[in-house]
Amino acid sequence: MFAFLRRYVSTDLAIDLGTANTLIYVRGKGIVLDEPSVVAIRHEGGPNGKKTIQAVGAEAKAMLAQLNGFFRIVEQMSAVDTRGVEPLYTPLAAVQSAALRLRDDEVTEGDQRAANQLSAPAVEDGLYLVPKVIE
């Protein structure tokens, strides 16, 4: 029935677009490609913005695993009952140690510019001189 297609078909190359992995077989060489069938696409500028391929194969599969791990964390956090819990103005407010609590800024040491600049290679008018790096 499809005998007319035989002149267009070759048995030198076979491509298996499997659901998990894509395989490419070349006669005489065997399987030359065995990659996960995953493509990561980057969306820029919202749903109608530019779309580019970010990664393919094993690299995209690793990105998917990382993303799934993030979603698991979000699910766990969403499952926590937070009724009756007041939001903190800073995470440090939950820490009982006085050393980590927010405090007012206050100067604890005097001006030591002259002493600090004694070890500088070059100083002019109280400012550090640095060599020119970019020509």
- CA nearest neighbour of 123 among 72, 115, 53, 27: 115
Tens digit of each residue's pLDDT (9 = 90 or more) over 102-121: 667 788 888 888 888 888 88
pLDDT band at 135 (very low <50, low <70, confident <90, very high): low
Q: Which fold does the domain 11-76 belong to in CATH? A: Nucleotidyltransferase; domain 5 (3.30.420)
Q: 87 pLDDT exceeds 80?
A: no
- Sequence-distant (6+) residues with CB within 8 A of 35 are 21, 22, 56, 57, 58
**pLDDT, greater one: 46 or 82:** 82
Pull the structure tokens for residue 10.
């070759």
Is residue 55 within 8 Å of 63, Cβ to Cβ?
yes
User: Residues 6 or more apart from 54 whose CB is under 8 A from it?
Assistant: 40, 41, 42, 60, 63
Task: State the residue for tokens 């919202």.
Answer: 46
Q: Tens digit of pLDDT for each residue in 37-73?
A: 888 888 888 778 898 999 988 999 998 888 888 899 9
- What's the pTM? 0.45
| Domain positions in the chain | 11-76
C-alpha 22/C-alpha 15 separation (Å) is 7
Kindly give, in sequence order, each residue whose CB lies less than 8 Å from that of residue 116, ignoring residues fewer than 6 positions away.
none
